[in-house]
Amino acid sequence: MINKKDWIIAGVFLLLSIGLIFYKLDARPLQDWDEGIYANISSEMITSGDYLHLTSGGNYWYEKEPLPFWLMAGSIKVFGNNLWALRFPMAMVCLFIFPLFYLLARRFLPRLEAVLSTTFFIVSPVVWHSHFLRTADFDMLAVCLILSALTVYVYKRESSWWLTGILLASLCLVRGIWGFFFLGMILILEFFQTERWSWKKIVGVTLITTLPWLLWHLWSLSFGGLDYVRVYWQEQFFSRVTGPLQGHQGGIDFYWNFLIILLGWFFILFLILAIISLIIRYARKPSSANLFLPLWLLISLVPLHVISTKINWYLAPALPAIYLAFGSFLEIIKKVLWQSKFKYKEIIWSLFIGCWLLLMVNFAYLSFIKVSNYTNEKLTSKNPEWPAVIWYKTYTHILP
């Protein structure tokens, strides 16, 4: 269980997050397409005063869930129409990703391995890639909600089961169907608990998670009718499954190639070994704790390879599980070495940690270069119909 020292370490990770996430938060120009679209919709909420309909250019917009737009509209209302205000809500929530990751890691790992895996996660060039941290996109907001729900579940599953439901409901109002994958994960984990939730708690968590999302979509159906069905379900959901939406296509190796480009083959080798070790650990001792990471990887990676639309940031929900798997792999290596009769096991362990630290230093350098190179640039697109340009021209007097 976590103690005072763990809370201090989590606090250090929080302070580090503040510096890294808020540094030059508004330096990069608004990104097409997504940030530009989200900016327009949030701004129209402020202009019209209508927070119960998502509109773009005065037309109903059904493609996404409403919670992020409410957050951005509230921020714009307080701080004005500027890039910093647009990105502030996501940045504020995402401050807690790394502390939550550490606290979740400590539930399964010794302190050293938890610190190393959290640091590895922080310096990863993937989390600093465009569409992840430091943008108005929703992917890392969803990651924070996933971490929050799972952390509350593993520490307070009996006393705060209702809070797990509220966090999952928020996830559904950010990422739709993805929230139900993680509800399913928790319900499967419950089956392997020695003292399972009562049926009342299972039904309660399911209702708390489901009802807000269901009410929103019934509301959208009530005024959107067939247009809502066509856009949200046919185009944005089923079309992504059956074919590459808007040209976002790729093969079975799409996400592996993405990781290889950013992190290299050495990382992939570690990841494969980590996943194998998790499977072996569960096969030897089936339990809720040993199923936790394999199940998380399964529900966040398999759908990506099944659906036809391939987009890099779909990988976001799997990232914490991937880096927790690394920490678990470290723990397994240490146990194997210490239980063996190797004469030089301390040297082998030191070399292993040394290679790990070198890899982290390399990743930290790549991530630092990416973040520190942000500059205040003007949008230069020649296409006046791009949403980012529309928003930029409308509020050009206060945008950087």
CA distance 201 to 128: 38
Query: What is the C-alpha separation between 264 and 327, in angstroms, rounded?
Result: 18
Neighbours of 117 (CB within 10 A): 27
Residue 399: the pLDDT is 32
For the record, the structure tokens of 239 come out as: 């079309």
Determine which of 95-104, 163-172, 300-309 has the lowest per-residue pLDDT on average: 300-309
* Cβ–Cβ < 8 Å for 39, 388: yes
CA separation for the pair 332, 328 (Å, rounded): 6
* Nearest-angstrom CA–CA distance, 300 and 185: 10
How close are the terminal C-alpha atoms of the chain, in Å?
46
pLDDT at 271 over 90: no
Q: Is the pLDDT of residue 54 over 90?
A: yes
Cα–Cα distance between 312 and 296 in angstroms, integer? Answer: 18
pTM: 0.90
Residue 378 scores a pLDDT above 70: no
Q: Is the pLDDT of residue 324 over 60?
A: yes
Which tens digits make up the pLDDT trace of 177-204? 999 999 999 999 999 888 889 999 999 9
Higher pLDDT: 94 or 392? It is 94
Look at residue 377 and tell me whether its pLDDT is greater than 60. Answer: no
pLDDT for 280: 87
61: left (phi over 0), alpha (psi -120 to 50) or beta: beta
| CB-based contact 398:80 (threshold 8 Å) | yes
Domain residue extents for the chain: 4-394
**Looking at residue 197, what is its pLDDT?**
93
For residue 369, what pLDDT is reported? 66
Angle at 49 between CA 43 and CA 52, to 5 degrees: 95
CA 34 to CA 235: how far, in whole Å? 16
CB-based contact 178:171 (threshold 8 Å): yes
CA–centroid distance for 325 within its chain:
16
